[in-house]
């Protein structure tokens, strides 16, 4: 169990990169983030090491606290640079595990431990009682991002209430009362026989595996995802970052896809997936920002018809955009995934016989 009185985490897993030594601007607050995924500390380190990011602490779905960058150094967490006197320079950043489908709901155990850590940091560094936009800031205060999701929305008041309760209890040498949380209702999953919006059938679960990945602008290829990946957080891309190449392939049949970039508009269709061939094997132009995707699946002769179903998010807003079916407006009224002018930061795809979610 973490030693909050002395600001000691459950475990140290120092990243060893993506930080600047020292605190010449001092420590003036805490910045809270959501992971945009249900990640553990090792996964955070792996992603950050590859993409030039970091944070001081991560809190997983069980409330387990790990330190990645020392408080006395500046993590690359807030997107506002070093030497500006902003969030990276003056605050300690905490990442919280969450469900990865909109809304970005942070796990209750992560809220409890994260709020306790905020209280401990405020007390230890003499920042005063936790107060929103005084000494506790959302990531989006420092740069254009959807982070920290629901921690700046429906869960903000609960989070800050617990931070204040923990702070007051620590000052008084006591324990606060247990949190009062109204359990969220779990909606019943629709059966396959129930219709989806627009009268479309629900998927029966029959799928053609589709494998896809995004390339970070200025970086490298991210891990390939199959269908929705492992668990609810399966998606291609890196939250709040820009991408310039898309590679996709299917086990059988033909998947055609194209991307729209901020610089060029719609590029040519691609019908194969090979990350080693950036000319004909993937869609996009290195260094140019993807803000839209179209896909179309051709079912092999003799098989039951299936279609490409896909959706995206952007760096400018939280939550998934409308689901698109193939390259026409037959389902949601949209003929592509994305919003022109807003960099696409994650993508989900499956090939199936009906509405997949």
Q: How far apart are CA 146 and CA 239, in angstroms?
A: 9
Residue ranges, comma separated, of all CATH 3.40.80.10 domains in the chain are 11-171
pLDDT for res 195: 43
* C-alpha torsion 270→275→280→283, nearest 10: 40
The candidate with the shortest Cα–Cα distance to 31, out of 68, 83, 79, is 79
pLDDT range class, residue 293, cuts 50, 70, 90: very high
Side-chain-side CA neighbours of 252 within 13 Å: the count stands at 11
Mind spelling out the 3-state secondary structure of 269-297? Answer: CECCCCCCCCCCCCEECCCCCEEEEEEEE
In tens, the pLDDT along 226-240 reads 987 554 457 999 988
Q: pLDDT by residue (tens digit) across 2-19?
A: 899 999 999 999 999 999
Q: Residue 211 corresponds to which tokens in the numbers above? A: 């494998």
Cβ–Cβ < 8 Å for 44, 55:
yes
Predicted pLDDT of residue 245: 97
Asked whether residue 332 carries a pLDDT value surpassing 60, the answer given is no
Burial 3-40 (b: 16+ CB within 10 A, else e): ebeebebbeeeebeebbeeebebebbbbbbbbbbbbbb
* Mean pLDDT of the chain, nearest integer: 86
Mean pLDDT score, 140-155: 88
pTM for the full predicted model? 0.56
Q: What's the average model confidence in pLDDT over 87-94?
A: 97
**pLDDT score at 103:** 67
The pLDDT assigned to 231 comes to 47
pLDDT at 199 over 70: no
**pLDDT of 198 strictly over 50:** no
Q: Which CATH architecture best describes the domain 11-171?
A: 3-Layer(aba) Sandwich (3.40)
Q: Cα 281–282–288 angle (5° rounding)?
A: 140
Q: What is the pLDDT of residue 134?
A: 97
The residue among 87, 357, 20, 318 whose CA lies nearest residue 197 is 357
Residue 108 has pLDDT above 50, yes or no: yes
- The pLDDT value given to residue 190: 37
pLDDT digits (tens, 9 = 90+) for 21-71: 999 999 999 999 998 778 899 989 988 887 789 999 999 999 999 999 999
Confidence of residue 100 (pLDDT cuts 50, 70, 90): low
């Amino acid at each position: 169990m973490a030693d909050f009185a002395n600001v000691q985490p459950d475990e140290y897993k120092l990243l060893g990169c993506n930080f600047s030594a020292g605190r010449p601007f001092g420590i003036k607050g805490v910045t809270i983030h959501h992971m945009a995924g249900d990640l553990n500390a090792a996964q955070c380190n792996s992603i950050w090491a590859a993409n030039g990011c970091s944070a001081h602490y991560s809190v997983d779905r069980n409330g387990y606290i790990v330190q990645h960058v020392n408080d006395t150094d500046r993590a690359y967490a807030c997107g506002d640079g070093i030497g500006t006197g902003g969030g990276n320079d003056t605050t300690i950043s905490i990442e919280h595990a969450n469900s990865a489908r909109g809304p970005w709901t942070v796990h209750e155990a992560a809220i409890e431990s994260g709020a306790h850590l905020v209280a401990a940091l405020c007390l230890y560094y003499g920042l005063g009682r936790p107060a929103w936009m005084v000494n506790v800031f959302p990531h989006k205060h420092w740069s254009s991002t959807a982070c920290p999701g629901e921690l700046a929305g429906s869960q903000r008041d609960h989070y800050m209430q617990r931070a204040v309760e923990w702070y007051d209890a620590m000052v008084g040498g006591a324990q606060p009362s247990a949190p009062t949380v109204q359990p969220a209702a779990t909606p019943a999953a629709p059966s396959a026989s129930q219709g989806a919006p627009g009268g479309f059938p629900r998927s029966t679960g029959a799928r053609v595996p589709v494998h896809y990945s995004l390339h970070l602008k200025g970086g490298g290829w991210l891990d390939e995802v199959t269908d929705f990946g492992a668990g609810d957080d399966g998606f291609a891309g890196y939250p709040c970052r820009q991408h310039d190449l898309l590679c996709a392939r299917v086990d059988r049949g033909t998947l055609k896809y194209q991307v729209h970039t901020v610089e060029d508009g719609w590029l040519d269709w691609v019908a194969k997936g090979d990350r080693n061939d950036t000319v004909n094997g993937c869609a996009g132009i290195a260094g140019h920002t993807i803000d839209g995707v179209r896909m179309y699946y051709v079912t092999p002769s003799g098989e039951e018809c299936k279609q490409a179903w896909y959706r995206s998010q952007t760096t400018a807003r939280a939550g998934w955009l409308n689901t698109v079916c193939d390259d026409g407006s037959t389902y949601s009224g949209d003929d592509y995934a994305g919003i022109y002018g807003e960099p696409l930061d994650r993508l989900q795809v499956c090939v199936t016989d009906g509405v997949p979610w």
